[in-house]
Structure 1
Amino acid sequence: MSTIAPDSPAALRSARAENPKSRTRDLAQTLGVTEAHLVAAMVDGTAVVRIDPSLDRLFPAIETLGTVMALTRNDSCVIERDGTYLDYRSGQHAAMVLGPDIDMRMFPSHWAHGFAVTDGDKRSIQIFDAAGDAVHKVHLREASNVAAFDALVADLRLEDQSDQIDTIARAPTEAAKSNPEKLDILRKEWDGMTDTHQFMRLTSKLRMNRLGAYRIAGEPYAKSLKPEAFTEALHRSAAGQIPVMIFVGNRGCIEIHGGLIHRVEPMGPWINVLDPGFNLHLRADHIAEVWLVNKPTKQGPAISIEAFDAEGGLILQMFGKRDPDTDAWIAMTEALGAEMPAETGA
C-alpha cells in the first residue's frame, strides 16, 4: 500500500474504507501517517468528534462512565485494566488516578489531541500527543454508562471539528547516558535514597539517565539479566501467586497493574497476560536489555525487573507489590538473578 500524505483526509478515509478490519494503529503505520492523523481524518462531528483533552475536564467526566477499560501503550507493550476512574488528583505537571482498579500517572503537557469515537456499538475516548502517538484510550464496556458518554461528548466537544491536525516531529528515544566520573557519587547517593522517586532526580543531577546509571552502577545496585528474564519473571510470579506491580507507559501516561497475575500465554512474538479485568501484551522480541535493580526506601528495598528496547527506551517495569510479606518476590528475583545473568555486560 502506498504512503498517503497526512494532509489528505479524503485519501485516508478511502484507505480506511478499503481496510475496515485493520487496526487503526497498524493501518496508520502502513499508510505512513500517525494514528492521530488517521483518526482525525474520520472526524464528522457525530461518529468521531474532537473533544477537549484537558485533564481537569476530561477525568471527572470519564468517572461518570462507570466500568470501562483503560489502555496505555508504547511501541512494545500494551496494558489494559477494567474498572472505574476514581480519585482523580489534578496537577500542573503530573496528575493521578488512584482507584483500586485503575491506577495511573498522567503528564498533561503531552495530552494534545482528544477524540470521542463511536464505531457501531463500540465507544471510546482516544488521546494523542503532539507527535500524533497514542497516549491513553478509554474503551466502554457492556456495563458502561452510554448516556454519560453522550453527555461527555456534548460537554467536551470542541468548536473546531476539522478533519486535519497539526503534529510535530516525534522526539527520539534518549540513548543510555552514563557519567563514569560520577560513579562514586551515584553509589553513595543511591545508598541514601528513601524513596524510588528520588532516583530520577539523582541521575538528572549527575547528567545520566536510568539505563546509563544501571550500566555503570554494578551490584548490588543493578545486575544485567538475559532478555528472556522478564518473560520468566512473569511466569514465576504467576506460578507462585506473587503479588506484583507492573508499570507500562509512554511520555504522557503511565498505567499500573497491582495484584496477582494468572494466565501467561505466548502468541508469536507476544507474551500475554490474559486475566479477567487485566491484559498485558508484550513484544518479547523487542527486549534488548533486562535489569534487576535494588533501590532503598523507608519501607525496605524496592526490587524491580526492568526491560529496555534496543534504542535504550524503557518498555516496562515490575516490582513486588508492597505487602506485609514480600519474601516471595525477593526470593524469586534473587533466584532469577542467579540463574539468568546476562552472558556479557550490556
Structure 2
Amino acid sequence: MAADGTLTHPLTSDRIRALRAEEPKLRARDFAARHGLAEAELVAAQVGHGATRIAAHPDQLIPLVCTLGDVMALTRNESCVIERRGTYEKYHSGAHAQMVLGDEIDMRFFGRHWLHAFALEDGDSRSIQVFDAAGDAVHKVHLKPESDVAAFARLVEALRLDDQSDSLALEPRALTEAPKGDAERVEVLRAEWAKMTDTHQFLRLVSKLKFNRLGAYRHAGAPYAVAMAPESVGLLLDRVAASQTPLMIFVGNQGCIEIHSGTIETVTPMGPWINVLDPRFNLHLRGDHIAEVWLVDKPTNNGPALSLEAFDADGGLILQIFGSRKHGGIDAFNATLAGLPRKEAAQ
C-alpha cells in the first residue's frame, strides 16, 4: 500500500504480460484472480501493447460509443453477467446518473464510479473496458463483425489520455453493506411503502428511514416482501421462457445497471450456472451464490410492480426480474410469480 492509502501490486507490468502470455486462453477475470490482481491491473499492463488509456466518464465516452453501431454490452457483478447486443442510442446526461434508452441497449450509469477506461485491440478483437476505483469492471463494450471499426478508431483518438502509464494505483474495495433497519420504524416503513406511486421512490424512502433494500424486505415482510425458495429464480426463468412471457431483467454493480426487456428463449443450466443463451441476449447466473430471494410488491400509479430479487450471502443484490409493461403480459408474469415456491415450503 502506498503512503496515500492506494493499493499497489508487487508484480511489474512486464511480469504481468509475461504471465499472461503463458495463459492466453484463461478468461481475464480468472487470470487476475489467480495472480492476486485486480482486473484493471491486468488491462493496464497491456497499455502500449494493444491497450490505450481513454477518458472514462460516460459524458465523454458513451456519445462516441453510440457511433459504433451494433455491439455487445456487458455488465456484471460477482454472481451474474448480462450481455446484450444492440446499438447505444438516446444518451441522457445527469448530475448523479446517466442513461441510454435504446430499444435493445437500456442502461443506467453512475459516472462517479467510472474511473479507469481502456480501449483494447487484439487482432480483430476490439473492446472498451471501464473500471472503478478498486479496479473492478464496471462495464464493457465488445465490437462485433457488424460494428463500425473506423468509429472505434475515432473514439480512441478523441478520448486518448496524455497519461499512458501501464500501472494503476487502486483503492481498497468497498465492502457490501450488511442488511440494516430500525425495528422501531417498521410500521412507518409499511405505511409509507403503501403510499408509493412509483418504484423509483423506494430507495429514497428506505434511506430516509435508515433501512437499506434487503433490510427493508426483511423487516416489512408480507404482503410487501415475501421470502422465496432460492430455486425460484431458475424456475421463473424456465417458466417465462416456456410461455414466452415478457420480462425485464436488471443486473448491475455500483457503477452500472444493464436491463434486458422482452422475452427469453433458451435457459440452459451448466454446473452451478443458470444460462440464458439467446441470439442477442445472454445471462450467466451463479445459482449457488443465491442466498436469499424475495418477491417484492411495490405500488405504482399503474398498478403493483411485482419483482423477484436475488441476494448473495453478504446481502449484495445479484439481479431483479420484473414483468414488462411495455411488451405486455404483466398478468401472466404476476401469475407465474404467484406459483413459485415460498421459502417456508422449501424447508
| TM-score bucket (shorter structure) | over 0.9
- 1:151-300 counterparts in 2 under 5 A? 151-300=154-303
Residue 343 of structure 1 aligns to a residue in which SS? Answer: helix
Partner of 1:39: 43
Q: CA deviation at 1:325?
A: 4.5
Residue of structure 1 equivalent to 2:133: 130
Moved more, 195-204 or 46-55: 46-55
Match of 2:339 among 331, 335, 338: 335
The residue type equivalent to 2:20 in the other structure is R
Report the CA distance shift for 1:68/1:186 in structure 2 as closer, same or farther (over 3 A): same
CA distance in 1, matches of 2:215, 2:206: 9
Superposed CA RMSD: 1.5
Letter in 2 for 1:137: K
Q: Structure 1 runs of 4+ off > 6 angstroms? A: none
Q: Which residue of 1 aligns with 2:22?
A: 18
> For 1:21-77, what per-residue CA distance to the aligned partner results, in whole angstroms no more than 9, with x for missing partners?
111110000000100001001110x61100011211211111111000000000000
SS of residue in 1 equivalent to 2:18: helix
Aligned amino acid, residue 15 of structure 2: A
Q: Is the 8 A contact 1:128 1:134 kept in 2?
A: yes
Percent of residue pairs bearing the same amino acid type:
61
Q: Give, in whole Å, the separation in 2 of the partners of 1:202 and 1:98.
A: 26
CA drift of 1:262 comes to 0.7
Instruction: Tell me if the contact between 1:192 and 1:296 (Cα under 8 Å) persists in the aligned partners.
Output: yes
Is 1:62 matched up with 2:69? no
Match of 2:111 in 1: 108
> Greater shift after overlay, 55-64 or 243-252?
55-64
Aligned to 2:3: none
Q: Distance in 1 between matches of 2:96 and 2:324?
A: 26
Q: Give the whole-Å Cα distance in 2 for the aligned partners of 1:119 and 1:271.
A: 30
Instruction: Judge conservation of contact 1:224–1:345 (CA < 8 Å) in 2.
Output: no
**Partners of 1:140 and 1:92 in 2: how far apart?**
29
Q: Deviations over 1:324-344 (max 9, x none)?
A: 5421011111111xxx11138
Q: 1:143-163 deviations in whole A, cap 9, x for unaligned? A: 000011011111111111110
Q: CA deviation at 1:345?
A: 11
How many residues were matched structurally?
Answer: 339
Gapped runs of 5+ residues in structure 2? 1-7
Helix, strand or coil at the partner of 1:197: helix
CA shift for structure 1 position 92: 1.9
